[in-house]
Chains A and B, each alone.
Chain A
Amino acid sequence: MTLTDTKIACYHCGEECSDTPIVSDDKHFCCHGCKTVYEILQDNNLCSYYDLNQHAGISLKAMNLNGRFEYLSDEKIQAQLLDFQSDTLNKVTFYIPAIHCSSCVWLLENFNKIQQGVTSARLNFLKKELSLSYDPTQVTLRTIVELLTTLGYEPLINLQSAEHKPVQNKVKRRLILQIGVVGFCMGNIMLMSFPEYFKLDLNNVVDNTYQRFFLYLNFILSLPVFFFGAIDYLKGAVVSIRENLRKNTDILSVDIPIALGITVLFIRSTFETFVNHSAGYWDSLAGLVFFLLVGKWVQQVTYNYLSFERNYKSYFPLAVKVGEEYKNVSQLQKGDKILIHHQEIIPADALLLADKALIDYSFVTGEAEPIEKTSSNIVYAGGRNMGENIELVVQKQVSQSYLTDLWNNEAFKKEKSTPAIDLANAFSKYFTYTTLLIALLTGVYWYIHEPSLVWRSVTAVLMVACPCALTLSLPFTMNTTMGIFGRNRFFVKNQRVIQLLTEINEVVFDKTGTLTENKNAQVYFEAGKLTDEEARWVARLTSQSTHPLSKIISQSLGVSANATKVNCLNEIKGMGIEGVIEGNFIRVGNADFILSTTENIQSSHVLVEINHQYKGYFVIRPNYRKGWEKVLNKLKMTFSLALLSGDNDAEKATLSPFFTADRLRFNQKPQDKLDFIRQEQQAGNHVLMIGDGLNDAGALRQSNVGVALSEDVQAFSPACDAILDASRFAQLTQFLSFSKIALNIVKASFILSLVYNFIGIGWAVSGKLYPVTAAIFMPLSSLSVVLFAVGMTYLFARIKKLI
């Protein structure tokens, strides 16, 4: 059978099938894992999975459970994960990162058909959360998780899964209800107001009855608007006034002029209705509150499928094996003996019991290469075990370890600093005082000239000056900007971040994973040449060693299948390796091992000697991101730059053209990075930090804006304010400059809304603001300001080629 010419795609996952085909029902599979999934689905009559999307499956190569979920059998651990627990019904919610298409929804929502005992399965696609109900007498949690994993949907279970998040939906639901109720009232009030505007004949008894009826009905309908829809603004204003009286702050919240306007509208309209029996401003009131609430809703639109709040808890496993049983990682005590499998994370600072271990700290410290530890060494938390299973004795509790200590820093305790000028609030101070002053002057003027107009004109000024349009322009502009950034795969946490971006004047980089790519280190041979044959020998020799550098070299050279034998193999720890291949004596190692006195050899160089002749050395250079030089050059013009790397200074020469010497720092611990940022801030700088690993977490938190660079935005990134897709790294300068444009658009629409306010106040001071004018003018001004803000943002985005 020849399948080699045209590779066949796996029916399940779409990957190329190997030359030895795995066939079931005339369908080809790349591995047995995929075939198993197909058979499970086939047995349960769920093969429409494949009709919805071709090759919808997730590749299951290298799948091996090996008791990975054994800890889920433990009652105590289970109880921490479950949302609800009873004798016959348990509920659990899993976060499943692998969910990616409509087939996933279909399969997972039919999960009860595959697994007996599962009663219902509901999926939230955007949040990637699967909620399951199951009968614990029929199926165990472990079975469910293992089956999910077999199907390719491995739930992400970590220390954070045990903390059940407070329900955020409540706040959002309340706002939706408020918008619904106010919208309902607004529509009806408008309808009831029409007869009045079309001149009812008040001398006619019938018309008079109607007019009263409509007025009272409007009053009743506006009660929920005022007491339910607008209540948050009223409360906010009261709080702000109280804080000001106590001299805790001198900022007048923007809620004050809003609440003032709404209250005056309500009182004046009630007065008109019950005393004058003439049309009130009920429709203006309802419209105003409605627009305000819509603005509020727009303001809190975020990317709820991205997580910006992760800390070490989402990086650490939930449970670890202590002796024969499992223990929640946060309950580990000094002296506990723990077992860490291959590829697992070490949760606490511990003493190594095994002879040797290979631990990858790349995510924690930024060190690219795994570190070798030997028996009775202290192993710091956060490393990933790359070798065989190891046993360790815990030295410190999880929250006290070297890594997690960072989170005890005060930077994590206080709320992130707010923008220095919170635009709307800064504005509100002058706005409120000016409005009050105008109202006062109007009152005084009419008191002298025509006392009967005082009440009408003063209330009219306060009503029309309500900064509705003003408060709308900020959320709508920022929301549009967020959307434009999102299209370019730069996801900011909330609107405030865009405001903070405009204040940035210093950019700090992390090296590993930020300026350089995490994977794909390049190996170069320098200061000499190796023939193909020699290269093969070196590759053969280095493949005998488990040292990380040897591994990288042998991989990059490639070892041929029919490799020759190595004789007299000798590896000296921390020095190098030597051996005889086809009668040639080959030595590979560091400068001390080879004893070469030539040139400027650095510690990360690997020297080669063949038959006692020095041939040159290997250099392992990280791959820099595309366009990194351009980005740095552009940034250098407007921002001061700094680089904080956890790695050694091997790359100093490449990077020094872009940074001044004291701002190019290597071997930085997480705490050092945080301290550096704090120093800069104390010097008055607003710092943007770009990083990717846990070692940057402190710096990201301390900085004014922390940007996490990520190859996959869904994957783990430390707590940050924004996530930037690594492929869009080159656009960073564009984002920074566009945020400034957005702020200017906001300012422009502030001015526009002020113009409207002047027109309105012009009518108001002359005592000529009629209900019908207000009903048309106020919503129109709000709408036009919103349209202006959104339109301008799109226009500039197009000019700047962001859309």
Chain B
Amino acid sequence: MGVIIFLVVAALMVAGGFLISFFWATNDGQFDDTYTPAVRILFDEEKPVENHIES
């Protein structure tokens, strides 16, 4: 039954990994501006070139 102890520790380590990535994201400024990225994601990379010639 020692496997449960092992599992709990393993689960905590995985969760701890996410906690570290949360630290990373916060210190990187991900939560400083929560509005603009929501707009930014909607933009296409580039307008198709043929459209450009046509107009």
Residues of A within 8 A of B (CB): 25, 42, 45-48, 51-52, 102, 105-106, 109, 123-127, 169, 172-173, 176-177, 180-181, 184, 188, 192, 206, 210, 213, 217
Tell me the residues in window 24-55 of chain B with beta carbons closer than 8 Å to chain A beta carbons: 26-27, 29, 31-33, 35-36, 39-40, 42-44, 46-47, 49, 52, 55
Are A106 and B43 neighbours in the complex by a CB distance under 8 Å?
yes
Query: Within 8 Å CB of A180, what residues of B?
Result: 19, 22-23, 26
Q: From B23, which residue of chain A is reached at the shortest CB distance?
A: A177
Nearest CB to that of A122 among chain B residues? B36
* Known contacts A45-B49, A47-B52, A206-B1, A125 near B32 by CB under 8 Å: no
Asked whether A105 lies within 8 Å of B33 as measured between CB atoms, the reply is no
Query: Given A25-B55, A124-B36, A176–B47 Cβ distance below 8 Å?
Result: no
Residues of B within 8 A of A25 (CB): 55
Q: Cβ of A184 and Cβ of B33 under 8 Å apart?
A: no
Q: Which of A47, A102, A181 contacts B47 (CB 8 A)?
A: A47
Question: Which partner residue on chain A sits nearest B33 by CB separation?
Answer: A124
A105→B4 CA distance, assembly (Å): 51
Tell me the complex Cα distance, A105–B43, Å: 10
Q: Which of the residues B1, B12, B39, B44 comes within 8 Å of A188, measured between beta carbons?
A: B12
Would you give the shortest CB distance from A234 to chain B, in whole angstroms?
A: 22
Chain A nearest CB from B47 CB (Å) reads 5
Once bound together, how far apart are the Cα atoms of A109 and B44, in whole Å?
12
How near does chain B come to A489, taking the closest CB pair, in angstroms? 19
Q: A109, B26: Cβ atoms under 8 Å?
A: no
Residue of B nearest to A174 (CB): B26
Q: Are B47 and A184 in contact (CB under 8 A)?
A: no
Residues of A within 8 A of B43 (CB): 48, 52, 105-106, 109
Q: B residues within 8 Å of A by Cβ?
A: 1, 4-5, 8, 12, 15, 19, 22-23, 26-27, 29, 31-33, 35-36, 39-40, 42-44, 46-47, 49, 52, 55
Q: Given that A45-B49, A184-B15 are known contacts, is A102 also in contact with B1, CB under 8 Å in the complex?
A: no
Q: Does the CB pair B19–A184 fall under 8 Å? A: yes
A635 to B22 CA separation, bound complex (whole angstroms) = 51
A188 touches B15 (CB 8 A): yes
- A126 CA to B1 CA, complexed, in Å: 54
Please name the residue on chain A nearest to B22 by beta carbon.
A180
Q: Quick one: given A173-B26, A173-B27, are A126 and B8 in contact (CB under 8 Å)?
A: no
Residues in B whose Cβ lies below 8 Å from that of A173: 26-27, 29, 31-32
- What chain B residues lie within 8 Å of A105 (beta carbons)? 36, 39-40, 43
Q: Are B36 and A123 in contact (CB under 8 A)?
A: yes
- Whether B33 contacts A125 by the Cβ 8 Å rule is yes
CA distance in complex: A62, B29 (Å): 39
Looking at the complex, which one of B4, B29, B40, B52 makes contact with A169 (CB distance below 8 Å)? B29
Residues in B neighbouring A126, C-beta threshold 8 A: 33, 35-36
Contact: B35 with A172, CB < 8 Å? no
Within the complex, which residue of A45, A176, A192 is in contact with B52, where a contact is CB–CB below 8 Å? A45
Cβ-defined contact, B55 with A47, below 8 A: yes
List chain B residues, Cβ under 8 A from A172.
31-32
A-chain residues with CB within 8 Å of residue B4 when the two chains form the complex: 210
- In the complex, chain A residues whose CB is within 8 Å of the CB of B44: 48
Q: Of all chain B residues, which has the CB nearest A125?
A: B36
Residues of B within 8 A of A102 (CB): 39, 42
- A-B contact list, 28 entries, CB within 8 Å: A25-B55, A42-B52, A45-B52, A46-B47, A47-B55, A48-B43, A48-B44, A51-B47, A52-B43, A102-B39, A105-B43, A106-B43, A109-B40, A125-B39, A127-B33, A172-B32, A173-B27, A173-B29, A173-B31, A173-B32, A176-B31, A177-B22, A180-B22, A184-B15, A192-B8, A210-B4, A210-B5, A213-B8
Report yes or no: B26 in contact with A176, Cβ–Cβ below 8 A: yes
- CA A169 to CA B26, docked complex, whole Å: 10
> In the assembly, what is the distance between CA of A206 and CA of B22, in Å?
36
Question: CA–CA, A126 to B43, complex, Å?
Answer: 18
Q: Which residues of A lie under 8 Å from residue B5 when comparing CB positions?
A: 210, 213
Closest residue on chain B to residue A45 by CB atoms: B52
Q: Is the CB of A45 within 8 A of B26?
A: no
For the A-B complex with A25-B55, A48-B43, A176-B26 known, give 7 more contacts whose Cβ atoms are closer than 8 Å.
A42-B52, A102-B39, A106-B43, A172-B31, A177-B23, A213-B5, A217-B8
Which chain A residues lie closer than 8 Å to B8 at the CB level? 192, 213, 217
Q: Are A45 and B22 in contact (CB under 8 A)?
A: no
A181 near B39: Cβ-Cβ < 8 Å: no
Bound: A125/B32 CA distance, A: 11
Check if A45 sits within 8 Å of B47, measured CB to CB. yes
Across-interface contacts of A176 in B (CB, < 8 A): 26, 31
